[in-house]
Amino acid sequence: MRFDFVPFFNPGETIPWTRTTAMMREQTQVAEDAGFTTVWLTEHHFAHNGYLNAPPNPILMCADLAAHSKKIRVGQAPVVLPDWHPLRVAEDIALLDNLTEGRVDFGAAKGTNERTCIQFNLDADKRDDKKSYALFRECLDIVIKAWTEDPFTYQGDFYRFPVPGWQETNRMFHPYDPRYHREDGEYIGMYVHPRPVQAPHPPVWLMSNAPFTYEFAGRSGYNVIGMASPKGNIRACWDAYENAAKEAGYLDVQNGDNVGMCVVIYVADSMEEAAKTIRPSINKYYEFLSGARPSGEWMKKAYLNKGEELCQEDADSDWFDFLMSRDIIWVGTAEYVAEKMTQYRDEVNVRHIMLLQQFPGIAYENILGNMTRFAERVMPLFSEDK
């Protein structure tokens, strides 16, 4: 079993970033000592109410955490590609891969419908889902080709590289290399540096719960991490991945390969203590999430198996009881959490867990305690799972 994690960044309260950074470094050290594989940094902007006060630049934060650790890998969950210039992403991730000597997992996604996207790029407005998804696919294509093609050229619906019209006048380029310049100095090909350390590039991870993203990833040889879902929905996504991968010629891919699940987990000494500690945070956090998508993608219906209707009992339950009843969150004793993990391993072949613990209002000491209990009491039970 592979274990990754997303650092707690104190959602719901704005604190000095020097403190947030110190907490993330400490959590990363705990995770590295415990044998976690990757620390993943999310991306959010303009968090005036403190809820989405994750790093605005996950790549830069990855560089810091890598500099304060020795072996844990660093990843982005995700880089919201439409909000960035794709060549900058290619350069920055490749540079990070060099700085860390190959410890980078590259995470990318289209992003959600937030107020932030159009502040960076009008074409990234998530209210036009078709356009923003096309922009995401083009940006990802550019990043991969910039890492692997020399000379690099690209012409898409949103970007063209090199941009036409530049004629080199610097005599230091004489005689012109025909890969990059015409005889008259026109710039026709690019060399994007540095090249990544990992060949042919860092592992690519898409962040999604949509079956069509799993199909795309399977065809492309990418990986996917999704949020915890009912087992039926997970099977549908992972079946789509496996089928697409095999159709594309990746015949050795088996169900459960190259995919992972991000799960809210909290380990306590008793079920009562776990519920008492985490229930208020879960109710607050998921109420916030459910309001983030007015079209309903993150409301309770999103956590049902396809074709299942929301019953009255589920509608009347608070978020904590509802999510616990659906095994979407794992909150309880080490034995309880291990039991849920075993069920998902045996029934769906889950072999990659990303620990999420964004609990509004919880004391930071509880976060470190949870990580320690999870590492000491749960992870060893799955040490032979590969």
Domain residue limits, the chain: 2-265+352-382
Confidence at residue 291, expressed as pLDDT on a 0 to 100 scale: 64
Residue 194: what are its φ and ψ, rounded to 5°?
Answer: -80, 165
The SS3 of residue 129 is: helix
The SS3 of residue 232 is: helix
Confidence at residue 385, expressed as pLDDT on a 0 to 100 scale: 64
Confidence at residue 298, expressed as pLDDT on a 0 to 100 scale: 61
Architecture per CATH, domain 2-265+352-382, reads as Alpha-Beta Barrel (3.20)
pLDDT tier at 45, thresholds 50, 70, 90: confident
CA-wise closest residue to 354 among 236, 228, 257: 228
The per-residue pLDDT of the chain, averaged, comes to 94
Residue 244 has pLDDT above 80, yes or no: yes
For 248-296, what is each residue's pLDDT tens digit? 999 999 999 999 999 999 999 999 999 999 999 999 999 887 765 555 5
Q: Whole-angstrom Cα distance, residue 297 to residue 244?
A: 25
Instruction: Please name the residue that has the structure tokens 């005889």.
Output: 183
Weakest-pLDDT range from 124-128, 209-213, 263-267: 124-128
Confidence at residue 230, expressed as pLDDT on a 0 to 100 scale: 93
pTM: 0.95
Yes or no: say if 265 and 341 are a contact pair by the CB < 8 Å rule.
Answer: no
- Cα dist. 365→8, 68, 139, 368, 371 in Å? 11, 20, 40, 5, 10
Q: Name the DSSP class of 152.
A: B
Confidence at residue 60, expressed as pLDDT on a 0 to 100 scale: 98
Cβ burial of 107 (10 Å; 0-12, 13-18, 19+) is buried
Residue 115 has pLDDT above 90, yes or no: no
CA-wise closest residue to 52 among 135, 116, 144, 140: 116
What is the mean pLDDT of the segment spanning 41-59? 87
Count of residues in the chain: 386
Q: Whole-angstrom Cα distance, residue 381 to residue 338?
A: 8
Confidence at residue 314, expressed as pLDDT on a 0 to 100 scale: 92
Name the token pair of 116. 């932030």
362 Rama class: left (phi>0) / alpha (psi -120 to 50) / beta: beta
Q: Whole-angstrom Cα distance, residue 13 to residue 171?
A: 56
Q: Name the DSSP class of 167.
A: B
Residue 384 has pLDDT above 60, yes or no: yes
Q: Name the DSSP class of 297.
A: T
Q: Which residues contact 348 (CB under 8 A, 6 or more apart)?
A: 231, 234, 235, 238, 256
Q: Which residues contact 119 (CB under 8 A, 6 or more apart)?
A: 45, 46
The SS3 of residue 88 is: helix
